[in-house]
C-alpha cells in the first residue's frame, strides 16, 4: 500500500483508527473458550464489528507467541481473514523486531512473505543494517520505534547528545536516509502529546503510528493538534478500550460502539482540519 | 541457573562456548530435507555432536518464526530435547524482544513458561518497564543488548551525551538498577574487541554474551584479553562456522571438529588465566 492509498482510505472511511488485536485468553468473554479456536473466534467477531470504522489492524505478536503453535495458527487465520474480507485494511505486525542483517532478513520474510502483513514495527537500537532488510519489499513498510508511550521511554530515548539532539530525534533524522515516506513510518506514543510538535520538525511528512490513546491515557485531540499533517499523517491505535469494552456476549457490539466513538471524534477532527469535505 | 552454577559448568567443561542454533533450511545438508522434521533432525545431530564442548545453546528465533507453525514446533522439540538430554546447558532464546510492560510480560511468559529457556535477549530502547517483566522469574535471566556486533551499532549505540557517556554505557549503568549479576547479562559483540575494556569499567562482574566470533570476524583472544573476569564472565557464541562446517553427511562430525577447536582455544585461555587448574 502507498501512503497515497492509505490517505485515500482515511478520507473515504473518515477514520484513522487502528484496532490493536492484543487478544488475551484471560480477557476475552469466557463463553468463547468453548470455540475450537477462541482467539480467532474473538478476532473475527471484533473485525466484522469494526472494519468499516478503522483503516488498520495491529496484532501484537507477544499475545500470539505466548500460546505457542495454537497462537501462531490463530494469527495466520486472522491475517488471512482480514486479507480476504477487508482487503483495504493496512495490516501491522507489532513485533518490535531488529537483529543483525541476515537475521532481520529472516524476520522480514516471516512478516512479509509467510504472513502477508503490510508493515512491521522495528526497534532502532541496532542501526541501519538491522532495519534495511525490512525495506526491500515492494509496497511494504517499516514502522520504526521513535518515542514510545511507556514510562521507560524516558530512560534512553530523551538522552541528549553534545549538540542537543535527543536520541529519538536522531532516530527520526538518521533513518530518513534509509527509507522514504512510502516505506517508513514511526511509532510515537500518544502519552507524549506535546512532543508531536518536536517530532513534526524532524519528520513533517511521515505517517506516525500512535499507540497509547485509551487505556494508556493519551489524548486524541492533543495528538492531532500537533501531529496532523496535510495527508493526515497519523494512524491512532486503540486496543484494550475497544476489545474489552464488554466481557459478555455483547462484546462485539460494545467494541463497535467504542470504535464508533473514536471514529466520530476522528471525523470531526478531519473535517475541522479541512482534510475531508 | 545461578552465575555460580554457570561458572562451575565452564570450569568442568573447560569451555565457555555457546553454539548458536541459527538453523536455515537453505543451508543444512540437503539429505535432511527427506526427514519428517529437517530442522529438528539437524539440531539434534548438532547438539549430540557438541554438547560436551559447550555450555550453552542459543536458537535465534528469527530462523524458526520464518517457517511459521513448522518452525515453532521444531523449536519446541529442540528445547525439550536439550532439557531432557543435556540439563546442564544454559538455554538462550535469542529473540531481542522488548515492549511496554504488559506486553513484555507476555513475551516473558512465552520464553520462560511455555518454553523453558534460561534467558532471553532483550532490546533496551523502551527502557525499564520493557525489561523488568523478564526479571520476575526465579533463576531466569535477561541478556540485554549493549554493544552489538553489526555495523549499524555505530548509528546510535556510540551516541555520546553531554557528560561524555555513550549510549551503550548508559544502558549498562542504568540497567544495573533493575537486575543483579544473577539475573542480568549483556550482549557485547566480539567485533568490538577493544571496547571490552570500556565495558568492564561499567560492568566488571556481569556475564557477557559475545556473538560475532567466526563468520562475523571477531577475535577470541582479543575479547578474552579485555573481557575475562575472575568468574570467566564470558559466553562466546559461534553459529555459522560450527553449524555449516560441512554440507554433506559428515556435517555433525565437522561441526564437532570446529567446536572442538574453539573449546581447545578456550581451555588454553582459562588455564593461562588460572581459572582452571
Domains of chain A: 3-272 (3.20.20.70)
User: Residue A92 — very low, low, confident or very high, per pLDDT cuts 50/70/90?
Assistant: very high
B148/A100 touch (CB, cutoff 8 Å), yes or no: yes
Q: In this predicted model, what pLDDT tens digit does every residue of A131-174 receive, in sequence order? A: 999 999 999 999 999 999 899 999 999 999 999 999 999 999 99
B62/A104 touch (CB, cutoff 8 Å), yes or no: yes
- Can you tell me the distance from the alpha carbon of A1 to that of B138, in angstroms, rounded to the nearest whole number? 45
Q: From chain A, pick out residues whose CB is under 8 angstroms from the CB of B149.
A: 100
What ipTM was reported for this prediction?
0.95
A65/B106 touch (CB, cutoff 8 Å), yes or no: yes
User: Residue B68 — very low, low, confident or very high, per pLDDT cuts 50/70/90?
Assistant: confident
Task: Identify whether the C-beta of residue A50 lies closer than 8 Å to the C-beta of residue A255.
Answer: yes
User: Residue A1 — very low, low, confident or very high, per pLDDT cuts 50/70/90?
Assistant: very high
pLDDT > 70 in chain A, percent: 100
- Can you tell me the distance from the alpha carbon of B237 to that of B262, in angstroms, rounded to the nearest whole number? 10
B174/A159 touch (CB, cutoff 8 Å), yes or no: no
Our CA-based measurement puts residue B125 at a distance from the nearest CA of chain A, in whole angstroms, of 6
What pLDDT is attached to residue B214?
Answer: 75
Residue ranges in chain A assigned as alpha helix (H): 3-13, 38-50, 61-65, 69-85, 101-109, 128-131, 153-156, 167-175, 196-202, 220-227, 240-243, 251-272
The active-site residue out of B27, B77, B96, B261 is B96
Tell me which chain B residue has its CA closest to the CA of residue A112.
B66
Task: Identify whether the C-beta of residue A54 lies closer than 8 Å to the C-beta of residue A236.
Answer: no
- Can you tell me the distance from the alpha carbon of B251 to that of B257, in angstroms, rounded to the nearest whole number? 10
Q: Which of A127, A155, A157 sits opposite B155 (nearest CB)?
A: A127
User: Residue A194 — very low, low, confident or very high, per pLDDT cuts 50/70/90?
Assistant: confident
What pLDDT is attached to residue A193?
Answer: 80
What pLDDT is attached to residue B216?
Answer: 74
pLDDT > 90 in chain B, percent: 93
Report whether pLDDT(A29) > 80: yes
Contact partners, residue B275, CB within 8 Å, separation at least 6: B10, B11, B228, B230, B232
What pLDDT is attached to residue A212?
Answer: 84
Q: From chain A, pick out residues whose CB is under 8 angstroms from the CB of B134.
A: none
Q: Is A120 helix (H, G, I), strand (E, B) or coil?
A: strand
B126/A152 touch (CB, cutoff 8 Å), yes or no: yes
**N- to C-terminal Cα distance for chain A?**
24
What pLDDT is attached to residue B269?
Answer: 97
Q: What is the DSSP string of A63-115?
A: HHHTTTHHHHHHHHHHHHHHHHH-TT-EEEEEEEE--SHHHHHHHHHIIIIIS
The active-site residue out of A27, A77, A96, A225 is A96
- Average pLDDT over every residue of B200-226: 91
Tell me which chain B residue has its CA closest to the CA of residue A240.
B102
In the numeric block, the cell 543483525 is attached to A100
Q: From chain A, pick out residues whose CB is under 8 angstroms from the CB of B191.
A: none
User: Residue B192 — very low, low, confident or very high, per pLDDT cuts 50/70/90?
Assistant: confident
Report whether pLDDT(B118) > 80: yes
- Average pLDDT over every residue of B160-183: 97
Q: Which of A99, A125, A216 sits opposite B124 (nearest CB)?
A: A125
Report whether pLDDT(B215) > 80: no
Report whether pLDDT(B268) > 80: yes
What are the C-alpha distances in Å from B186 to residues B28, B114, B120, B164, B236? 30, 24, 11, 21, 12
Q: In this predicted model, what pLDDT tens digit does every residue of A203-235 receive, in sequence order? A: 999 999 999 887 777 899 999 999 999 999 999
Report whether pLDDT(A120) > 90: yes
B150/A130 touch (CB, cutoff 8 Å), yes or no: yes
Cell of B51: 554438547
User: Residue B109 — very low, low, confident or very high, per pLDDT cuts 50/70/90?
Assistant: very high
Strands, E assignment, chain B? 17-21, 56-59, 90-97, 119-122, 141-147, 184-188, 208-210, 234-238
User: Residue B178 — very low, low, confident or very high, per pLDDT cuts 50/70/90?
Assistant: very high
User: Residue B262 — very low, low, confident or very high, per pLDDT cuts 50/70/90?
Assistant: very high
Task: Identify whether the C-beta of residue B57 lies closer than 8 Å to the C-beta of residue B89.
Answer: yes
Average pLDDT value for chain B? 96
> Nearest Cα to B208, choosing from A232, A57, A135, B193?
B193
Tell me which chain A residue has its CA closest to the CA of residue B151.
A129
- Can you tell me the distance from the alpha carbon of A233 to that of A226, in angstroms, rounded to the nearest whole number? 11
**Chain A interface mutation, best of B94, B143, B150, B170, highest count of A Cβ atoms under 10 Å:** B150
B99/A125 touch (CB, cutoff 8 Å), yes or no: no
The verdict on whether B96 is a catalytic residue reads: yes
DSSP state of B112: I
What pLDDT is attached to residue A71?
Answer: 94
Report whether pLDDT(B232) > 90: yes
Amino acid at each position: 500500500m502507498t501512503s497515497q492509498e492509505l490517505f485515500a482510505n482515511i478520507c473515504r472511511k473518515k477514520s484513522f483508527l487502528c484496532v490493536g488485536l492484543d487478544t488475551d485468553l484471560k480477557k476475552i468473554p469466557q463463553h468463547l473458550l468453548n470455540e475450537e479456536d477462541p482467539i480467532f473466534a474473538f478476532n473475527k467477531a471484533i473485525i466484522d464489528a469494526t472494519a468499516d470504522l478503522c483503516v488498520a489492524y495491529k496484532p501484537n505478536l507477544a499475545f500470539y507467541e505466548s500460546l505457542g503453535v495454537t497462537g501462531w495458527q490463530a494469527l495466520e487465520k486472522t491475517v488471512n481473514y482480514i486479507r480476504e474480507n477487508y482487503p483495504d485494511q493496512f495490516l501491522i505486525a507489532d513485533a518490535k523486531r531488529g537483529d543483525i542483517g541476515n537475521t532481520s532478513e529472516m524476520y522480514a520474510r516471516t512478516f512479509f512473505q509467510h504472513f502477508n502483513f503490510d508493515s512491521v514495527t522495528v526497534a532502532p537500537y541496532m542501526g541501519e543494517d538491522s532495519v534495511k532488510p525490512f525495506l526491500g519489499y515492494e509496497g511494504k513498510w517499516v514502522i520504526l520505534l521513535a518515542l514510545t508511550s511507556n514510562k521507560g521511554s524516558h530512560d534512553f530515548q530523551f538522552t541528549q547528545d553534545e549538540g542537543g539532539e535527543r536520541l529519538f530525534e536522531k532516530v527520526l533524522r538518521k533513518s530518513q536516509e534509509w527509507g522514504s515516506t512510502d516505506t517508513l513510518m514511526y511509532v510515537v506514543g500518544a502519552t507524549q502529546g506535546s512532543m508531536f510538535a518536536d517530532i513534526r520538525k524532524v519528520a513533517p511528512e511521515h505517517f506516525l503510528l500512535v499507540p497509547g490513546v485509551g487505556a494508556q491515557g493519551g489524548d486524541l485531540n492533543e495528538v492531532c493538534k500537533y501531529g496532523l499533517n496535510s495527508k493526515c499523517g497519523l494512524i491512532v491505535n486503540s486496543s484494550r478500550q475497544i476489545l474489552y469494552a464488554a466481557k459478555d456476549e455483547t462484546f462485539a457490539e460494545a467494541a463497535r460502539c467504542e470504535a464508533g466513538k473514536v471514529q466520530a471524534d476522528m471525523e470531526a477532527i478531519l473535517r475541522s482540519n479541512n482534510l475531508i469535505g
